[in-house]
Amino acid sequence: MRLAPGVGLVYGDLAMSELPKAYEPTEVEKSWYQAWLDAKCFEADPASEKPAYSIVIPPPNVTGILHLGHVLNNTIQDILARRARQKGCEVLWLPGTDHAGIATQTKVERQLREEEGKTRRDIGREAFLEKVWEWKEKHGGIIIKQLKRLGCSCDWSRERFTMDQDYSRWVSQVFAELFNEGLIYRGKRMVNWCPVSLTALSDEEVIPKKQNSKLYYLKYELVDEPGKYLEVATTRPETLMGDVAVAVNPKDERYGKYVGKLVRRPFPEAEIPVLADDHVDPEFGTGALKITPAHDKADFEIGVRHELEIIDVFHPDGSVNCPEVPELDGLDRFVARKKAAAMLEENGLLIKVEEHENNVGFSERADVPIEPRISMQWFLRYPETERTAKAVATGRIQYRPTRWAKTHANWMDGIQDWCVSRQLWWGHRIPVWYRKEKVAALRDAESLTLADLEAGDLHVSEEPPSDPENWVQDDDVLDTWFSSWLWPFATMEKPGEESDLVKKFYPTTDLVTGPDIIFFWVARMIMAGFRFKDELPFRNVFFTSIIRDIQGRKMSKSLGNSPDPIDLMEKYGADGLRFGLMRTAPIGADLRFDEAQIEEGRNFANKIYNACRFRRMSGAEARVDFQASSCDHLRPYHLDILAKCDELAEKVEAAFADYRFNEVGQQLYEFLWSEFCDKFLEAVKGDLREEAEPARREATLGVFDVVMARYLQLLHPYMPHLTEELCARMGYQAKGTFLMEKTLPEAGLLDGVESAMIDDGRGRATAVYESAARLRNLKAEYRLAARKDVRFVVRHGADWLEAEADILALLSGAAEVTRAEEYQPEQGTPGAVTSAGEIFMPLDGLIDVEAEKIRLDKEIEKNTKEVAKSKGKLGNEKFIANAKPEVVALERQRLVEWEGKLGQLQKMRDNLG
RNA sequence: GGUCGAUUAGCUCAGUGGUAGAGCGCUUGCUUCACACGCAAGAUGUCACUGGUUCAAAUCCAGUAUCGACCACCA
């Protein structure tokens, strides 16, 4: 049965008291999400008068599936968005997905291989791209659906994709603009080449990994002095065919005499020079370095300095390309390594092999060692680096935690040009066309310049040439991040027109993302924002924790240690998952995921649900108009919980202001469980019975409702579905309206109530709660915890004792609590000194006098220690002089309490003889 | 090698000068008319180590150890 949104959404006409004992989130969550969508609650109105609040989602890979990192990240964004709505903002949370060049293409290629046994080249560019689009249509919606399941309040009417037509136009236009400015250029450079994906990669896509390698010591014969050798050490003997020199440090006295001489490269045989270069470390290996400019970044630079030849000995796929050495030609580079070493050994040129740990750069996607390789690529010299560095350094863009600003600064400091071209097909094709008859020359040109453009041989623009038959487009596509860096504004408007959306919502307010993509994305977005909108793209960046497994390992598919969030949601509810994760997620440190945390979230949802269920058993009509200031029957427990609720609102506000999401969660948890349920509800339980005095009953129902209604609103950003459900079901929210759209009132629940009355009530409530705990403890010590017939007798009781005696009895599980100032306890009667008075538990001889003596002695000892400690402090002149006045006052008060209690305990003890 | 971070109960984590905390787990007792996804009571800590500053340090400073991240790398 599906009713109108607002009331009885899921459980139909069942009264709350007839509901299942345990909260069942699944259906509730789905129904409310649909109700919000139907009512267009998430849609942003650029024409709104309200202050703007905006976030753009870090777009997940279009074919990706939800993992815990997404859950954490998007829950935080949803909390921010929902909280902003409650604070009266017009909220735009703009969602979308990223085409994720290599990742997606790799998946489709794998499918093609598995299903049809073909490669992308077999079917051609056009057919392949069709397949990718098909794949995107089929799998692209998954992560979006999963985000909806989580409860994300994104404006789905504005969902974007980095390969949408308008978005693509932005990418091309930006490319053309930067080319015209000379910031984008084409050149033959040493790049990180992935031999599996067959494309160049940016430095950021290379992951250094520690490897146990071998260091081969080999020797080159001196041409002039046959029989004499120069020894070198290398981890890569398979590149030997590309060696064009041996380098030594100019300061190295051992080798000075060899500089300028020739040595013999064994295969293919050649004479190569020995030269001096500062880069060489005399301490490492033999102090002599073989130079392979084609396959090592440092060697390449040495090669440039000494004008050496570049000999590429690999095919793009990493196999050896060296017909002169048929033994190695065609072998995979790792096979060739062993073979080359064996060949050296046969010739007596291998001296020794040592175990050696070194760092090898791996391709992020394909997870194989990258091959440094010379190739023709497009590069970008970053724009606006100074403004970007400054904006972060000065805090104009606020990084949280702030220490990431330093990481940002370090990267900006040593920033290298960005290789933006990829030899892939899935992505934004580089918007460069070569005139047909000149294409060969232009493609091989060492550089392309504006002169080529002016000569009409080159076309660089977001618009294809009008006479396409005369042109050939560049084969490469752009790095995925070359589109992502435009995300904050390219999602909001078409190129060349300022949209209402941008006017209202740009720059965005908060960005929530992982610190692992500061370089990939965050820093680049700032540069793009400055360059193309002349404005920073966001004001705050909140970096989330990285989620690890319980052993501290990164979550990864291959380890199988990454729980499926959908399973967790089915088991614990989306709200349970959200709350459990948020309550423990540390700010600024890694999070070790433990499913027990999520279970806690579910249990918490159940607790709230049951508190409401309990309330509903006492009548369906909600007292939403209840005013504490005009109620004559407020009891201490009412005042206490109302005050705590107001305090909660303040604490939550303060924690939100600092983005301390775990603290918000903790405060919400403690209030409901420890204060509201354990104390308040237990104290006023009797008032909810039908036979209770009507005025008391009304007051308690009223207080319950206003506190719960306010509480649910405060909790809403964390547990949106549950709170919406309960507000509807409890009648706190009028039919057809939504909690999620309700503004958070500024007024406190106790506004208008005299503060003296509040203080008096809270004092009593606190005394009752504390005393009850002390009495329960006393009962438990005498193994009477379960007995309900215990009577307590109070001496020197507080003046309000009679008024609260029934509650004290209820909370301590006693038959009654009575005042008797002249009471003389029998020898051995256990007792406790509490803020409500000296309370005895007469047991008519059941108690062992000696046992009670021991118990009291222990307590006296403890109190004596505290008194001594406190006296020591207060007797210290420097403490009095230096400590804050309130600290001293607190200490004085404490001492008085300890001393009073100690005296009373002492008297009790004396009575026992 | 450089930078940054972490080290608090068996576990996951709060706590940032002034009485060591939460949840889970553990022990004991409760089928108490909201909740066993629960209630009550309890045990468990040289706050990594060594110095220093201070009347007072888990908290501030310096150093040490261990773990981790990032950056740069010696082939």
pLDDT in tens, A594-646: 888 899 999 999 999 999 999 988 877 878 888 878 888 899 999 999 999 99
pTM of the model: 0.90
Task: Please report the pLDDT score of residue A158 as a whole number.
Answer: 95
| Partners of A502 in beta bridges | none
A249 within 8 A of A277, measured Cβ to Cβ: yes
| Smallest CA–C1' separation from A209, nucleotide | B73
Task: Please report the pLDDT score of residue A8 as a whole number.
Answer: 43
Selection from A192-196, A283-287, A534-538, A887-891 with the highest mean pLDDT: A534-538
**Better-scored residue on pLDDT, A221 or A612:** A612
Closest among A215, A237, A240, A219 to A228, alpha carbons compared:
A219
Q: Stated in angstroms, how far is A245 CA from B42 C1'? A: 77
Q: Stated in angstroms, how far is A881 CA from B54 C1'? A: 13
Question: Tens of pLDDT along A523-557?
Answer: 999 999 999 999 999 999 999 888 887 777 777 66
The dihedrals phi and psi of A380, each to the nearest 5 degrees, come to: -120, 125
| Smallest CA–C1' separation from A279, nucleotide | B74
The pLDDT of residue A589 is above 90: no
The DSSP symbol for A553 reads P
ipTM: 0.94
Question: Tens of pLDDT along A129-167?
Answer: 999 999 999 888 899 999 999 999 999 999 999 999 999
Question: Tens of pLDDT along A16-71?
Answer: 656 788 899 999 999 999 999 999 999 999 999 999 999 999 999 888 888 888 99
Q: Stated in angstroms, how far is A488 CA from B4 C1'? A: 29
Q: Stated in angstroms, how far is A317 CA from B75 C1'? A: 23
How distant, in Å, are the alpha carbons of A4, A729, A739, A778 from that of A734?
12, 10, 9, 48
| Smallest CA–C1' separation from A282, nucleotide | B74
Q: Stated in angstroms, how far is A550 CA from B10 C1'? A: 14
Is the peptide bond prior to A507 cis by the omega test (within 30 degrees of 0)? yes
Task: Please report the pLDDT score of residue A14 as a whole number.
Answer: 56
**Collapsing DSSP states into helix, strand and coil, what is residue A412?**
helix
Q: How far apart are CA A767 and CA A784, in angstroms?
A: 22
Helices A720-730 and A25-38, packing angle to 10 deg: 90
Confidence of residue A204 (pLDDT cuts 50, 70, 90): confident
Neighbours of A208 (CB within 10 A): 10
User: In chain A, what is the straight-line distance between the N-terminal and C-terminal CA atoms, in Å?
Assistant: 73
**Collapsing DSSP states into helix, strand and coil, what is residue A29?**
helix
How distant, in Å, are the alpha carbons of A58, A84, A389, A420, A882 from that of A489?
13, 21, 20, 20, 55
The DSSP symbol for A287 reads S
| Smallest CA–C1' separation from A678, nucleotide | B39
Per the structure, the residue whose CA is closest to nucleotide B18 at C1' is: A887
Task: Please report the pLDDT score of residue A4 as a whole number.
Answer: 38
Strand B: which positions are within 7 A of a protein CB? 3-6, 11-15, 18-19, 22-24, 29-30, 34-42, 54-56, 67-68, 70-75
Tokens encoding A470: 């005369």
**Collapsing DSSP states into helix, strand and coil, what is residue A61?**
strand
Per the structure, the residue whose CA is closest to nucleotide B34 at C1' is: A614
Q: How far apart are CA A609 and CA A893, in angstroms?
A: 41
Per the structure, the residue whose CA is closest to nucleotide B2 at C1' is: A410
**Collapsing DSSP states into helix, strand and coil, what is residue A359?**
strand
How distant, in Å, are the alpha carbons of A191, A362, A561, A801, A892 from that of A514?
27, 21, 19, 56, 48
Question: Tens of pLDDT along A427-440?
Answer: 999 999 998 888 78
Confidence of residue A366 (pLDDT cuts 50, 70, 90): confident
| Smallest CA–C1' separation from A674, nucleotide | B22
A800 within 8 A of A764, measured Cβ to Cβ: yes
Neighbours of A581 (CB within 10 A): 27
Tokens encoding A69: 């990192």
Neighbours of A253 (CB within 10 A): 8
DSSP element (H, E) containing A765:
helix A755-781
The pLDDT of residue A89 is above 70: yes
Closest among A8, A395, A363 to A206, alpha carbons compared:
A363
Residues 6+ apart with CB under 8 A from A831: A778, A825, A838, A839, A840, A841, A908
Tokens encoding A111: 């499918």
Q: How far apart are CA A75 and CA A635, in angstroms?
A: 39
Closest among A83, A85, A94 to A154, alpha carbons compared:
A94
Q: How far apart are CA A899 and CA A904, in angstroms?
A: 9
CA angle A32, A36, A42 (to 5 degrees): 140
